[in-house]
Chain A
Amino acid sequence: MLKTYDAPVYDYVCSQEQKNGQVKRHPVVVIGAGPVGLTAALDFAQQGIEVVVLDDNNTVSVGSRAVCYAKRALEIWDRLGCGERMVAKGVGWKLGKVFFKDKLAYQFDLLGEDGHKMPAMINLQQYYLEDYLVDQSKLDDQIEVRWKHKLIAIEQHDDYAMLTVQTPDGVFQMEADWVIGCDGANSDLRSMIGAEFTGHFFMDRFLIADIIMKADFPPERWFWFDPPFHRNQSALLHRQPDNVWRLDFQLGWDCDPEEEKREDNIIARVKAMLGEDVDFELEWASVYQFACRRIDQFRHGRVIFAGDSAHQVSPFGARGANTGIQDIDNLGWKVRLVLDGVASERLIDSYHEERSFAADDNLLNSTRSTDFITPKSKGSRFYRDAVLELAEMTDFAKPLVNSGRLSKPTPYVHSSLNSVDEDAFDGDMAPGTNCADSPIALAGLDGWLLNQLGKGFVLLVFGDKPMDKISMAGLEVRVLCVDQDLQDVQGLVRQRYDGKDGTTYLIRPDQHVAARWRNFDRTKIEAAVKRAIGGI
């Protein structure tokens, strides 16, 4: 029982199909109602697909787990209608400080640039996140979240999968065109399929504790290497809503996890950190060993894995949930086009291509951070300490300090869905990159560019508007003209997209650039759309 939060208990309802004993075919069944499965439900519904989510439990994440959510995940949730609520509740922060022993070694500022709707990073307990996602899912009757439904077996066929599900009323079967595996790092589904999940465990343990404390430390990320209150290990302090603070203590491999979990031991550690007189209550604590692992293939027949079931990272870059949400961003529109018969299954395979590339990037960054935080040998420890000491004396060592490289989207630079640039462009919006937001005005009202993108393919055109839309092969590509359909009030759209007159961007439903040109050429556009839906 948490003191600052009452976890909802969602009702178990026996489904009509279980009552009737009639096997029903669903277009999409999602396994797992964690952050990723719930986001999947919202995305599929936004694509106009009826979706059933099965979860073996009937509440939100017990204890907080994830804390930090980055701009891209927030933008995706904003597209799905609940980003603003998360930002309103969350604690925004920008500054990270890194201490070595008792000295400030380095500090970083996440503040990218102004002119984005979503902040660089917020902190929010994972249970709030899931709670809000469930609330949002209730607004759409295409979504049915079935609590106390545990997947216990799966049988794959050529064009569907048969699921065996256990509920308090017994066992029943259902069929799905596509099954989305969002059942977490210990995925049952992954074992049922027999997919490989390889990588490595770090020989270290961490005590993660959330405490309730009224303190006026600023909302900054404070990270210590080898502090006086916790010699030879690292520690972290971070603010969450409701006066809850996240503390991490590295424990080393030789500790006894059971001992460390004892409340008196945790309280002693917190007091060593914050002082004997500090007034706090323990909200939740757990001891973790972290791993960096990835599934071999994100797609196995009719089963597609997303989130922790597909990749697990150490939490130092806050990459777990953040990247899982981006998996879904990549997947929803692809499944829709394949279900509609507009695209072939090659488009689903591009999900593996793009998201395994991103997963590898995340794994690399998480592994590097973990190696810095948890040096594996004395020599590596010396390098680590050398970097930290030098960082206090000279700037060149600062970029080498690694207390976690915080989650950023991985552009799909080599994706087979991209059309290679033929023209020269300045700026960052190369094919495969997620679109930068910008302030705009629409019919005299302030708005944001990203809120205009994301429903189907869009052609973002600068200058004259050549036509309203292009209809082709079951697809409608909407033309959105800067100046005509929206006003570039601060000139930031032009600047960020290097938008000289005539410039045309083809933007995917997941707000990523597929292609761009210096003029509007229908033949080239049609070829690029085909390519972007896996048609080559």
Chain B
Amino acid sequence: MALKETLTLADPDGFYQELIESQRDMSEDEQQLMNAKLVLILANEVGDRAKISAAIALAARRPMGQSFMPLV
């Protein structure tokens, strides 16, 4: 199941700001709990189980990129 490669959101900076702002006054635990809820809500919106599995796998993956240190 392929996930979308390109960004589908208009105004990505505005989206990111809203996300961060929504947690500004929360404790760390509250933030984590909110994130968990957000994942569940969005998973329900996506609905497609295969897509959700692909998203879980991508999110769990460790970055494997080529180490690229231009300096030193």
> A interface vs B, CB < 8 Å?
97, 99-100, 102-105, 217, 222, 228-229, 237, 273-275, 365, 368, 371-372, 375-380, 382-383, 387, 389-390, 392-400, 402, 405
Q: Mark B1-44, 1 if CB is under 8 A from A, else 0.
A: 00111111000110111011001101010011001000000000
Residues of B within 8 A of A372 (CB): 16
Cα A390 to Cα B4 with chains together (Å): 13
Interchain CB contact under 8 A, B58 and A378? no
CB-based nearest A residue for B13: A368
Interchain CB contact under 8 A, B31 and A396? no
Cα A102 to Cα B69 with chains together (Å): 6
Evaluate whether A379 and B67 lie within 8 angstroms (CB atoms) in the complex, with A365-B13, A371-B17, A400-B12 already known: no
CB-based nearest A residue for B20: A380
- Tell me which of A97, A237, A393, A405 has the highest count of chain B C-beta atoms within 10 A of its own C-beta: A393
Given A102-B68, A368-B17, A378-B28, output 13 extra A-B contacts at Cβ < 8 Å.
A104-B66, A217-B70, A229-B71, A375-B20, A383-B16, A390-B59, A393-B63, A395-B5, A396-B6, A396-B7, A399-B12, A400-B16, A402-B16
Cα A512 to Cα B24 with chains together (Å): 39
14 A–B contact pairs at CB < 8 A?
A97-B70, A104-B65, A105-B65, A217-B70, A377-B24, A378-B31, A383-B20, A393-B61, A395-B5, A395-B6, A396-B6, A396-B7, A398-B7, A400-B13
Residues of A within 8 A of B59 (CB): 390
Q: Mark B41-65, 1 if CB is under 8 A from A, else 0.
A: 0000000000000000011010101
| One of A103, A378, A383 near B67 (C-beta < 8 A) | A103
Residues of B within 8 A of A402 (CB): 13, 16
Residues of A within 8 A of B72 (CB): 229, 273-275
- Tell me which of A105, A237, A396 has the highest count of chain B C-beta atoms within 10 A of its own C-beta: A396
CB-based nearest B residue for A237: B71
Interchain CB contact under 8 A, A379 and B31? yes
Closest approach, in angstroms, between the C-beta of A393 and any C-beta of chain B?
7
Closest approach, in angstroms, between the C-beta of B54 and any C-beta of chain A?
11
Residues of A within 8 A of B6 (CB): 395-396
Interchain CB contact under 8 A, A379 and B68? no
CB-based nearest B residue for A215: B71
Cα A387 to Cα B16 with chains together (Å): 10
- Nearest first, the 5 A-B pairs at minimum CB distance are A379-B31, A103-B65, A392-B65, A396-B7, A104-B68
Cα A228 to Cα B72 with chains together (Å): 11
- Tell me which of B15, B19, B26, B70 has the highest count of chain A C-beta atoms within 10 A of its own C-beta: B70
Residues of A within 8 A of B28 (CB): 377-379
Residues of B within 8 A of A375 (CB): 20
CB-based nearest B residue for A369: B13
Residues of B within 8 A of A389 (CB): 63
Cα A378 to Cα B20 with chains together (Å): 11
Interchain CB contact under 8 A, A392 and B63? yes
Closest approach, in angstroms, between the C-beta of B16 and any C-beta of chain A?
6
Closest approach, in angstroms, between the C-beta of B59 and any C-beta of chain A?
8
Evaluate whether A103 and B16 lie within 8 angstroms (CB atoms) in the complex, with A229-B72, A275-B72, A379-B26 already known: no
Cα A380 to Cα B35 with chains together (Å): 11
Cα A102 to Cα B58 with chains together (Å): 20
Residues of B within 8 A of A377 (CB): 23-24, 26, 28, 31
Residues of B within 8 A of A396 (CB): 4-8
Closest approach, in angstroms, between the C-beta of A316 and any C-beta of chain B?
13
Evaluate whether A99 and B7 lie within 8 angstroms (CB atoms) in the complex, with A377-B24, A379-B32 already known: no
Interchain CB contact under 8 A, A99 and B58? no
Closest approach, in angstroms, between the C-beta of A38 and any C-beta of chain B?
33
Residues of B within 8 A of A273 (CB): 71-72
Interchain CB contact under 8 A, B7 and A395? yes
Evaluate whether A394 and B65 lie within 8 angstroms (CB atoms) in the complex, with A229-B72, A379-B31, A405-B13 already known: no
Evaluate whether A103 and B7 lie within 8 angstroms (CB atoms) in the complex, with A377-B31, A378-B28 already known: no
Evaluate whether A368 and B16 lie within 8 angstroms (CB atoms) in the complex, with A103-B65, A104-B65, A229-B72 already known: yes
Residues of A within 8 A of B20 (CB): 371, 375-376, 380, 383
CB-based nearest B residue for A228: B69
Closest approach, in angstroms, between the C-beta of A116 and any C-beta of chain B?
25
